[in-house]
Copies of this chain bind each other. A is one copy, B any other.
Protein backbone atom coordinates (compact mmCIF):
# COMPACT_ATOMS: atom_id res chain seq x y z
CA UNK A 1 0.00 0.00 0.00
CA UNK A 2 2.76 2.42 0.79
CA UNK A 3 5.58 2.31 -1.61
CA UNK A 4 7.73 5.11 -0.18
CA UNK A 5 10.09 4.74 -3.07
CA UNK A 6 12.88 7.26 -2.99
CA UNK A 7 12.15 10.01 -5.45
CA UNK A 8 14.59 12.04 -7.43
CA UNK A 9 12.76 15.16 -6.37
CA UNK A 10 14.04 16.82 -3.26
CA UNK A 11 11.83 17.09 -0.27
CA UNK A 12 12.03 19.09 2.94
CA UNK A 13 13.85 21.94 1.29
CA UNK A 14 12.46 24.24 3.93
CA UNK A 15 11.50 23.67 7.51
CA UNK A 16 7.82 23.94 6.83
CA UNK A 17 7.71 21.00 4.53
CA UNK A 18 6.87 17.41 5.20
CA UNK A 19 7.94 16.98 8.75
CA UNK A 20 8.47 13.29 9.37
CA UNK A 21 5.83 13.03 12.10
CA UNK A 22 3.28 14.26 9.61
CA UNK A 23 4.25 11.52 7.23
CA UNK A 24 3.89 8.87 9.88
CA UNK A 25 0.61 10.40 10.98
CA UNK A 26 -0.67 10.29 7.43
CA UNK A 27 0.32 6.67 7.05
CA UNK A 28 -1.40 5.80 10.29
CA UNK A 29 -4.65 7.39 9.26
CA UNK A 30 -4.42 6.04 5.74
CA UNK A 31 -4.04 2.53 7.08
CA UNK A 32 -7.12 2.84 9.26
CA UNK A 33 -9.27 4.51 6.64
CA UNK A 34 -8.18 1.95 4.12
CA UNK A 35 -9.64 -0.74 6.35
CA UNK A 36 -13.02 0.93 5.96
CA UNK A 37 -12.57 1.71 2.29
CA UNK A 38 -14.84 -1.10 1.18
CA UNK A 39 -18.58 -1.35 1.78
CA UNK A 40 -18.34 -4.95 2.90
CA UNK A 41 -15.84 -4.04 5.60
CA UNK A 42 -17.92 -1.12 6.76
CA UNK A 43 -20.88 -3.41 7.10
CA UNK A 44 -18.88 -5.97 9.04
CA UNK A 45 -17.72 -3.30 11.44
CA UNK A 46 -21.24 -2.01 11.92
CA UNK A 47 -22.49 -5.51 12.54
CA UNK A 48 -19.87 -6.13 15.17
CA UNK A 49 -20.57 -2.79 16.80
CA UNK A 50 -24.23 -3.69 17.08
CA UNK A 51 -23.62 -6.96 18.82
CA UNK A 52 -20.55 -6.73 21.02
CA UNK A 53 -19.45 -9.98 19.44
CA UNK A 54 -20.31 -12.20 16.56
CA UNK A 55 -19.50 -15.60 15.22
CA UNK A 56 -17.85 -15.63 11.86
CA UNK A 57 -20.68 -17.70 10.44
CA UNK A 58 -23.22 -15.08 11.35
CA UNK A 59 -21.25 -12.46 9.49
CA UNK A 60 -21.11 -14.63 6.41
CA UNK A 61 -24.88 -15.09 6.55
CA UNK A 62 -25.43 -11.36 6.62
CA UNK A 63 -23.28 -10.68 3.62
CA UNK A 64 -24.00 -11.51 -0.01
CA UNK A 65 -20.48 -12.79 -0.40
CA UNK A 66 -18.75 -16.13 -0.39
CA UNK A 67 -17.33 -17.36 2.89
CA UNK A 68 -13.79 -17.10 1.63
CA UNK A 69 -14.32 -13.51 0.60
CA UNK A 70 -15.71 -12.56 3.99
CA UNK A 71 -12.76 -14.28 5.59
CA UNK A 72 -10.43 -12.15 3.51
CA UNK A 73 -12.15 -8.97 4.61
CA UNK A 74 -11.95 -10.09 8.20
CA UNK A 75 -8.26 -10.71 7.75
CA UNK A 76 -7.79 -7.14 6.57
CA UNK A 77 -9.76 -5.80 9.51
CA UNK A 78 -7.64 -7.87 11.86
CA UNK A 79 -4.42 -6.69 10.23
CA UNK A 80 -5.33 -3.07 10.76
CA UNK A 81 -6.30 -3.85 14.31
CA UNK A 82 -9.90 -2.69 14.07
CA UNK A 83 -11.21 -6.15 14.78
CA UNK A 84 -10.11 -8.98 17.02
CA UNK A 85 -10.98 -12.62 16.70
CA UNK A 86 -10.65 -15.31 19.27
CA UNK A 87 -11.11 -18.99 18.80
CA UNK A 88 -14.03 -20.50 20.67
CA UNK A 89 -14.01 -24.18 20.11
CA UNK A 90 -14.63 -24.88 16.45
CA UNK A 91 -15.79 -21.34 15.82
CA UNK A 92 -14.22 -17.92 15.86
CA UNK A 93 -15.76 -15.06 17.73
CA UNK A 94 -15.06 -11.61 16.35
CA UNK A 95 -15.37 -8.33 18.11
CA UNK A 96 -14.40 -4.72 17.67
CA UNK A 97 -11.12 -3.51 19.08
CA UNK A 98 -12.40 -0.48 20.90
CA UNK A 99 -8.97 1.08 21.26
CA UNK A 100 -8.39 0.99 17.53
CA UNK A 101 -11.83 2.39 16.84
CA UNK A 102 -11.16 5.18 19.29
CA UNK A 103 -7.89 5.93 17.58
CA UNK A 104 -9.59 6.12 14.20
CA UNK A 105 -12.26 8.42 15.53
CA UNK A 106 -9.68 10.61 17.19
CA UNK A 107 -7.57 10.90 14.08
CA UNK A 108 -10.56 11.75 11.92
CA UNK A 109 -11.92 14.21 14.43
CA UNK A 110 -8.57 15.98 14.62
CA UNK A 111 -8.33 16.46 10.92
| Contact call A36/B46, Cβ cutoff below 8 A | no
Question: Which residues of chain B have C-beta atoms less than 8 A from A38's C-beta?
Answer: 1, 30, 34
A65 touches B111 (CB 8 A): no
Interface size on A, residues (CB 8 A): 39
A55 within 8 A of B: no
Docked CA distance A34–B33 (Å): 7
The answer to whether A26 and B46 touch (CB under 8 A), given A11-B64, A62-B17, A101-B111, is yes
**How close is A42's CB to chain B, nearest CB, in angstroms?**
4
Q: Which A positions have Cβ atoms within 8 angstroms of B?
A: 1-2, 7, 9, 11, 17-18, 22-23, 25-27, 29-30, 33-34, 36-43, 45-46, 49, 61-66, 101, 104-105, 108-109, 111
